[in-house]
Structure 1
C-alpha cells in the first residue's frame, strides 16, 4: 500500500537524482510506466511532480522536466497539505491525446484520489507540449470505501470500452468502466473486484490490514487479458518482500485465474518475479509491446547500491500454455 510502502524516508526524495543520463540499471525509479512516441521512449514514475526520463534505446536515459511544477490545484481538497510527491502514474495514447493518470494519498489511509492530465505530445521541445490537468477521476474516503484509489491502469476491451483498474490493500483491486472522455466514471456505474487476498483479522474500515496486494496492470495478448499485480511489501530495503504475480481471463472484467486455476479474487496468483540476494522488493510492474517484442518493467532495490530502487527492463516470453515467463 502506498501509504505504507511509498513514503519511507530513505526513498522519499531519491527519484531522478542521478544526473542527466545513465544506463538503465542505474536509473532510480519507483513504479515505472513507459510509452513510445516516434523514436523515443518516455518513462514516468513516482516522484516530485511525477519524474520523467527519455531514451532512444532503452539503455541510455535522460532526465526530462517533471509533469507538475506545482501540485494540481484540487489536491488539497482531497489530501490537505499534500506535498508535490505524486505516486504511481499510468500513460496511454488514445484518439491522438496522451492521458497520464496519477495518484495522491494521505499516509496510511485510503484518503486517496486518481487524477488525469492530458497532452498532445510527450516531447518537451515541441511547441505544442503542455500538460492540462483534468482533475479527479476516482476518489476513495475512509469509512465509506473498502478500497483505495491509487495505482491506476487504463485498458480498453474488445469493444474499445475504457476500463480503469486500480487499488491497494483493503478489500482488493478494482475495475470501473469509464466514459469515452476517459476523465470520468460511466453511468450507470459498473464496478468489479479483479483480485483480493484475505485479511486475516477484523479491522476498522480505515485500516488497510494485511493480505498485501496492489498495482494491477492489464495486458492484452494471446486472446487473453493478463492481470499483473504486486504482492507483499515494498520499500523496506533488504526486508522488502514485493513480488509480481499474474492471472488471466478471456474477458477484461474477469474472473481472472492463475496457472493452477485459482481465482485471483480468492488469493490466486502465479509467481513471475521476486527478489533474490542481489535485488530486494521486485515489483510494481507495467507491460508493453514495442516493435514486436514484449517487455515487462518494474523496480527492484539493489543490495549493491545501498538499497536504491533501480529500473528493471526484461523481455517477456511465453510458454507453450501461453503464460508469461522471463
Structure 2
C-alpha cells in the first residue's frame, strides 16, 4: 500500500489533524493494529487542532490552535511551513474568555467568494467559552477580519462553546456544530448573510452526548455523503501525551440535527459511536478531526501523539473510503 499523508498535533484540549493521500486502497481495519498509519508530512508539523483547505491556486492553507491561530502552507500536502497567524492583534473580546488571549480549534471554509473561519476562545476545563467568526478574501495569515461572537457560554452552562465546524447543506442552509463534555455536542443554524445565528431558528440542538460514565466527547465535524449526514467526533482523553485515549467515532442521520446512530443503531445521544480511528503502535490518541474534500477524495485530518517522540502531538492525514455506507480510513 502506497501512501502520501499528513500528521498534526493538538493542545489545550481541542482538535488536531491528520491528512493523507493514498495510491492503493487498503484493506478495511479489523482490529486496532490494522488501522492505517498517518502518512509522510515534513517541515513544521507540530500543531494542535488543524483545519485545512485547498486555495484556488492549489496552495494548502492550514490553521491550528494557539498563537493567534497559527498558519501554515504547503504546495504538495506533504511539506509544511509556518506563515504567521490568522490574527496579528487579538480582538478585544478574547480576554473575557482567555486570560492569555489564546484561541483554539479553528474551522476554515470557502463560501460566497470568501474564506470563513470559526474558532473558539476559552481555557482548559472551563465552560466560560465563546465561538468567534472571521472572514478573509485570500485566506492567508494576517488578512482576517473578526466579526465577534457567534455563540457563548458561561461557567454555569451545561455545555461548552468550543470546537466549531460549519456545514453547508445542499439546500443552502448553514449549520454550526460545536461543543464538548457536560451535556455534549450541539448545533445551531447559521444565517449565510451574517455568519451569525439565524434569527428564524434560535434552537440549540443536541446531537451527541454521554449521559453515563465519562462526558468526554468533543470536536464535531459534519459532512453529507450518499444521502446521509455523518457526524464525526473525538471521544475520551485528549492532550495527555502518551496517556491520551482519544479516538474518532462516527454516526449518521437523515437530518443534519439528528438523530445520529452508529453501525449498531445506538444513538450518539446515548453513548453511541462507531470507531473510525484509534490508538495503534506509536500513533496514540488520534482525534481533533476534520474532513476535507480534495482532488483525490475525502481526507481525514487529525492529530495524534507520537509514542516514539515523547508524546509530541503531530499532524496526520488519511483518505476515507465510503463503500458500504460508512467511512473507513485508509
The equivalent of 1:163 in structure 2 is 175
The equivalent of 1:190 in structure 2 is 203
- The CA RMSD measured in Å over matched residues stands at 1.9
Q: CA deviation at 1:122?
A: 2.1
The equivalent of 2:164 in structure 1 is 152
Extract unaligned runs of 5+ from structure 2.
Answer: 1-9, 15-39
The equivalent of 1:203 in structure 2 is none
Q: Within the alignment, does 1:252 sit opposite 2:270 as a pair?
A: no
**In structure 2, how many angstroms separate the alpha carbons of the residues matched to 1:231 and 1:246?**
10
- C-alpha contact (below 8 Å) 1:24/1:58 kept by paired residues: no
The equivalent of 1:18 in structure 2 is none
The equivalent of 2:86 in structure 1 is 67
Q: 1:214 aligns with which of 202, 218, 227?
A: 218
- C-alpha contact (below 8 Å) 2:305/2:311 kept by paired residues: yes
The equivalent of 1:325 in structure 2 is 328
**In structure 1, how many angstroms separate the alpha carbons of the residues matched to 2:82 and 2:123?**
28
The equivalent of 1:173 in structure 2 is 185
Q: CA deviation at 1:57?
A: 1.1
**In structure 1, how many angstroms separate the alpha carbons of the residues matched to 2:179 and 2:133?**
16
Q: CA deviation at 1:65?
A: 1.3
Q: Relative to structure 1, is the Cα distance of residues 25 and 231 closer, same or farther in structure 2, using a 3 angstrom cutoff? A: farther
Q: TM-score if structure 1 supplies the norm length?
A: 0.85
Q: Relative to structure 1, is the Cα distance of residues 101 and 29 closer, same or farther in structure 2, using a 3 angstrom cutoff? A: same
Q: Within the alignment, does 1:51 sit opposite 2:70 as a pair?
A: yes
**In structure 1, how many angstroms separate the alpha carbons of the residues matched to 2:275 and 2:266?**
13
The equivalent of 1:131 in structure 2 is 144
The one-character-per-residue Cα deviations of 1:263-285 (angstroms, maximum 9, x if unpaired) are 11111100011112312111010
Number of aligned residue pairs: give it: 293
Q: TM-score if structure 2 supplies the norm length?
A: 0.84
- C-alpha contact (below 8 Å) 1:105/1:112 kept by paired residues: yes
Higher alpha-carbon deviation: 242-251 or 271-280: 271-280
**Greater RCO structure (CA 8 Å; 6+ sep):** 2
Q: CA deviation at 1:69?
A: 2.0
Q: CA deviation at 1:182?
A: 4.3
Q: 2:45 aligns with which of 22, 27, 31?
A: 27
Q: CA deviation at 1:86?
A: 1.4
Q: Relative to structure 1, is the Cα distance of residues 297 and 247 closer, same or farther in structure 2, using a 3 angstrom cutoff? A: same
Q: 2:102 aligns with which of 82, 85, 93?
A: 85
Show the 5 A alignment for 1:269-288. Answer: 269-288=273-292
Q: CA deviation at 1:211?
A: 2.3
Q: CA deviation at 1:199?
A: 4.2
Q: CA deviation at 1:191?
A: 2.2
Q: CA deviation at 1:292?
A: 4.2
The equivalent of 1:142 in structure 2 is 155
Q: Within the alignment, does 1:36 sit opposite 2:54 as a pair?
A: yes
SS in 1 for 2:242: helix
The equivalent of 1:298 in structure 2 is 302
